[in-house]
Amino acid sequence: MKTIKRVSIMMLTMICLNTYAQKITPVYSGTLKHATLDELDSVKKEFPEMLNYVTCYETVSNDGVEYQYSVPKEKGVAFTPDSVSFNLSKKRKYTFLCTNTQKIEITKDTYHWGPKSVIIKLPNLNVYVRLRDLEYAKKLADDMVYFQHMNEFVSVKGDKQFDSLAAQYRALKVKPAISEEVRRYIVQANAMTQSKNYNKAIELYEKAIAIDPTNPMVYNNEALLLAMVGQYSSAINRMKKYLKLVPEAEDARAAQDKIYEWDAEINR
């Protein structure tokens, strides 16, 4: 009897492993269909329409609970060179960072709706689409891949605009006070950093930058976090902006040395 039990357990384990292998088999991988900034307007127009076909489950890292949202009619889609955001509900907004490098894939749903739907996994968000709307899911996945490259398309123009902002900031004898909204995001980002939820902290710093793109501390803190999660190119970008805003900062030498270190990591 003992021998039979062992065989049965081994067979059960093999069945479970095979089932798991089926779960992670992608149905489709997002591809970069648009490779220049010229297509941005058409992608911006297409993206909100794709959200009509999704149901979103946001994962809260602190408790591991998923919260379901049906994207409202007023989607509130907003684009920056570094992020794309949209409303999950009337009170809840999701932000996708263009610095994110995870592979955007569509897989079979094995949890909520089963074989009748597919899932696109984004950072802290699972996006479910009915199987009958698979073509819309594919377009959505392609759009997310485009957003991952959007920073590359706007970097030249964006750098020129930031150089102008940085020059204006340096010329100010009295630097502007931090607004209450920006302060809220900074405090929340610091809290997420303390709890080691680095990706969420980066997301919050991005929100602060969208409101005030000339806060040196935000760029410095975000650069360090980006490096911690292995996004060295983005970390260099943020630290360079920090130095453009405050080139005479006491830690300017250390900041520049960090850039050299991260560049070495990229070319390792």
26-149 has CATH 1.20.120 classification: no
Least confident of 33-42, 86-95, 163-172: 33-42
Angle between the N-to-C axes of helices 252-266 and 232-245, in degrees from 0 to 180, rounded to the nearest 10: 160
What are the residue boundaries of the structural domains of the chain, listed by start?
A: 26-149, 172-266
Average pLDDT over residues 158-171: 86
26-149 matches 172-266 in fold: no
Give residue 230's pLDDT band: very low, low, confident or very high (50, 70, 90). confident
- Res 14 pLDDT > 50: no
Q: SS3 for 97?
A: strand
- Res 264 pLDDT > 50: yes
pTM over 0.75? The answer is: no
**pLDDT value, residue 61:** 55
The number of residues in the chain equals: 268
Average pLDDT for the chain: 83
**pLDDT value, residue 154:** 58
Distance, CA of 207 to CA of 179 (rounded, Å): 13
Report the relative pairing of strands 65-70 and 93-97 from DSSP bridges.
unpaired
Fold of the 172-266 domain = 1.25.40
Give the pLDDT confidence of 32-55 residue by residue, as tens digits: 887 777 788 888 889 999 999 999
**pLDDT value, residue 17:** 38
Distance, CA of 5 to CA of 148 (rounded, Å): 50
Give residue 91's pLDDT band: very low, low, confident or very high (50, 70, 90). confident
**pLDDT value, residue 16:** 39
Name the DSSP letter for residue 98: T
List the one residue out of 200, 207, 254, 258 whose CA is nearest residue 229.
Answer: 200
H-only helix segments in the chain: 2-23, 40-50, 134-171, 180-194, 198-211, 216-228, 232-245, 252-266
Tokens read off for 268: 């390792």
Distance, CA of 125 to CA of 66 (rounded, Å): 9
**pLDDT value, residue 13:** 37
